[in-house]
C-alpha cells in the first residue's frame, strides 16, 4: 500500500508498506521505488498493489528491474491486481519496468485507475514476448481508467493465443509491445504514432525490437511529463515504512 497526501508545497507519504514481490522505498530524488524482493512471478502467486494519491498531491513510482513471469510450481495462473485512486488536482507518474512473459507462464493482471476531477496520470507499460529464442507464455492484462466514474480507457492484451498474437494486426514478429497513456489531460499536438481517446486521454502504442521501442517510448514519455506538469518533491513520510 502506498498513500500520498499534499502538505504545503510538497507531498508527504502517509503509508508505505509491502512485502512480496515489491517493497516500496523512498528514493533520494523524491520518487518512490518498487524494489523487487524476489526475482519472478510464478503460478499460484496472488499480488495486490494499492496506490492512493490524495487531493493535490503528486507521486511518481519507479521500478528498478523487469518482472519475470515463468512456469514454475504449477497450479492456477498468477494473479496481479492493481488499484489506483488519484484525487482532484493530484497527479501520478508510473513508467513501469518491462514484464517478461517466459515460456509456459500464466498470469492474469488487472489494473483499475480512478481519477477524480482534474486528476492526471502518465502510465507506461511494456511486455517482452518471451525470453531469447523461446515462445511467449500466457499473459492477460486489462487496464481500466475511469474519471468521475466514467470510462476513459478499457484495454486488454492477451498473449495466450499465439496465432492472434503473431498476426500482422497485433505483434507480428515483434519482441516487445509497449504503451504510454496520458489521462485526465490530452496532448493537443500528439507525436507520431499517438492517438486521442474518446475521453480526456492520449495514447501511444508500439511493437517492435526492444531497443527501438524503448527509445521511442522515452521520447514520448519525456514530452508527456511536460504536459502532465512539474513534479512536486516528496517530503519526509509521516509514518515509518514497513
DSSP H or E run through 24: strand 22-26
Quick one: pLDDT band at residue 241, thresholds 50, 70, 90? very low
Top-confidence residue, 112 or 29: 112
Query: Mean pLDDT over all residues of the chain?
Result: 88
Supply the DSSP symbol for 236.
-
Q: How many angstroms separate the CA atoms of 108 and 193, rounded?
A: 28
H helical segments located in 90-209: 162-165
Which tens digits make up the pLDDT trace of 115-168? 999 999 999 999 999 888 888 989 999 999 999 999 999 999 999 888 888 898
Phi and psi of 224, rounded to 5°? -75, -20
Residue 85 to residues 120, 166, 216, Cα–Cα distance (Å)? 11, 35, 28
Instruction: Please give the model's pTM, rounded to 2 decimal places.
Output: 0.90
Q: How many angstroms separate the CA atoms of 39 and 21, rounded?
A: 8
Q: Are 194 and 187 in contact (CB under 8 A)?
A: yes
Specify which residues 5 forms β-bridges with: 12
Top-confidence residue, 199 or 122: 122
How much of the chain, in percent, has pLDDT values that exceed 70?
92
Domain segments of the chain: what residues? Answer: 2-228
Amino acid at each position: 500500500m502506498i498513500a500520498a497526501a499534499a502538505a504545503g508545497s510538497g507531498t508527504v507519504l502517509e503509508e508505505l508498506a509491502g512485502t512480496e514481490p515489491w517493497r516500496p522505498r523512498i528514493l533520494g530524488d523524491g520518487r518512490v521505488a518498487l524494489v523487487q524482493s524476489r526475482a519472478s512471478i510464478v503460478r499460484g502467486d496472488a499480488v495486490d498493489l494499492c496506490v492512493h494519491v490524495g487531493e493535490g498531491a503528486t507521486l511518481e513510482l519507479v521500478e528498478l528491474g523487469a518482472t519475470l513471469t515463468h512456469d514454475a510450481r504449477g497450479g492456477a495462473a498468477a494473479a496481479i491486481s492493481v488499484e489506483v485512486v488519484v484525487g482532484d488536482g493530484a497527479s501520478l507518474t508510473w513508467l513501469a519496468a518491462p514484464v517478461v512473459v517466459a515460456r509456459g507462464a500464466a498470469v492474469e493482471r488487472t489494473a483499475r485507475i480512478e481519477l477524480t476531477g482534474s486528476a492526471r496520470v502518465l502510465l507506461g507499460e511494456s511486455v517482452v514476448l518471451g525470453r531469447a529464442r523461446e515462445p511467449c507464455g500466457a499473459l492477460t492484462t486489462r487496464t481500466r481508467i475511469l474519471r468521475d466514474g466514467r470510462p476513459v480507457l478499457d484495454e486488454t492484451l492477451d498473449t495466450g493465443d499465439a496465432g492472434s498474437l503473431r498476426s500482422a494486426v497485433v505483434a507480428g514478429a515483434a519482441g516487445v509491445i509497449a504503451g504510454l497513456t496520458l489521462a485526465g489531460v490530452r496532448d493537443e499536438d500528439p507525436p507520431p504514432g499517438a492517438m486521442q481517446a474518446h475521453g480526456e486521454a492520449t495514447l501511444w502504442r508500439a511493437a517492435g525490437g526492444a531497443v527501438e521501442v524503448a527509445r521511442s517510448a522515452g521520447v514520448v514519455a519525456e514530452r508527456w511529463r511536460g504536459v502532465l506538469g512539474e513534479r512536486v518533491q516528496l517530503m519526509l513520510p509521516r509514518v515509518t515504512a514497513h
